[in-house]
Amino acid sequence: MTIPAARIRVLNDVPPRAHGRYVLYLMQQSQRAGCNPALELAVEEGNRLGCPVVACFGLLDGTNGFPEANARHYAFMLQGLADAKAELEARGIAFVVRKDSPAALARALASEAALLILDRGYLSIQKRWYAEIGEAGGTRVLQVEGDVVVPVETASGKHEFAARTLRPKLQRLMDDFIAPLEPREVMHRADGLQLTSEVEIGDPEAVLAGLTLDRSVAPVRRFRGGRVEALRRLDAYLAGPFARYGTERGRPEAGAASHMSPYLHFGQISPVEIALAVRAAKVAGPEDKSSYLEELIVRRELAMNHVHYAAGYDTYEGALPDWARKVLAEHADDPRPYDYSEEDLAQGRTHDRHWNAAQAEMRVTGYMHNHLRMYWGKKILEWSPTPQEGFARTLRINNRYFLDGRDANSFTNVAWVYGLHDRPWARRKVFGTIRYQSENSLRKIDASAYLADVDRLCRAEG
């Protein structure tokens, strides 16, 4: 299928460089070789211009590492990059990985490129990289959206108030973008280019050992990174547990979650291919499919809308609506029922054993069910000395331990705890009219079964 024009942005008016050695693709957000429209456009352009294709990845290291990323995040990402390398090279596409910022690497390699193609992310650090690339040494620069179903500006030209305001816009457009993307034939192989990689990404364990980074948060056994594992998990999920998604998605002990969020975070799988597979699933009914697509498309792309249009999405002042900050300020001096330190919270040392279990699942395995993430976040607000400190703690702990932390969903979900994309509720202490969540919400789940699951998962991590 033709790549929709709405996915492609021309970032400068420079023509392609005559006699360029290759078409260059900066693989940064879409860390995969399959169902990747930026890569397929690079292949199309390489075929048209008579050039091979080179994909590159800038591996941040040491003091220049990706903000808040640690050994857990890097291990998962490197496993995915090893998959990408194998598939790219099998297609005749070179893959260059160097310890440099994405912008610096793209500028360096673009000096011999006929054309530079970027994928797209919406975080402020990613926007800075794109701005730093500039005109990339005098060649044309295209950017291709491959990690949302409907490109953000196509869906809406403004910051949306809530899911209910974005949903109808997405529903009118999504069918135009949920379509298979077949791999293009590579007509000019890159085998003879002799470009050097600084990193042998095919051995992710060795690469991880050689990086300078925060190792206080360890890699996990529960999730292995990469496109191969993502597709294996998706196939297994859609063949069985998906049939219970509509009725049991809110119960963490039910096993009805797909666990696709870490793979989406690192761009190791496309939301479009997940949507196609969900629509084609044989075991599930209409409620299962509509509920899943609501989370995959509406809720996830509401988060992308938020971080794109809210410049201060990672700050208390910039992320929250005025009414929420006002009401939290009115109740800032209310006595807290408990006042835990951030270390107590991170280590799960509270009076609430179910909250502690959720924190243990996150801290040890890198994951927590969405239903418990809401409860978890609301309690940090309730147990912190000020709402500003609660927001900062929630974000720091979230980004430190979750495999899918540090992305648009994380920033948006944390802000939701404090009133974003919500409305005023009944007034109460500490929360004001921010939505409250009590221990009674745990009555909807089999809490004993959940505690047993967490104990089993933590023991499996050693």
Burial of 288 (0-12, 13-18, 19+ CB in 10 A): buried
pLDDT, residue 137, reads 64
Q: What average pLDDT does the structure give for the chain?
A: 96
- Give the strand pairing for 94-98 and 113-118: unpaired
Q: What is the pLDDT of residue 444?
A: 86
The 10s digit of each residue's pLDDT in 372-424 is 999 999 999 999 999 999 999 999 999 999 999 999 999 999 999 999 999 99
Confidence category of residue 66, pLDDT binned at 50, 70, 90? confident
Residue 302 neighbours by CB under 8 Å, 6+ apart: 160, 162, 163, 166, 412, 421
Going by pLDDT thresholds of 50, 70 and 90, the confidence category of residue 62 is confident
- The domains found in the chain, sorted by start residue, are 5-163+181-209 (3.40.50.620), 227-309 (1.25.40.80), 316-461 (1.10.579.10)
Whole-structure pTM value: 0.97
Report the C-alpha gap between 332 and 329 in whole angstroms.
5
In contact, 411 and 311? CB cutoff 8 Å: no
Q: Which tens digit of pLDDT belongs to each residue from 159-179? A: 999 999 999 999 999 999 999
pLDDT tens string 233-270: 999 999 999 999 999 999 999 999 999 999 999 999 99
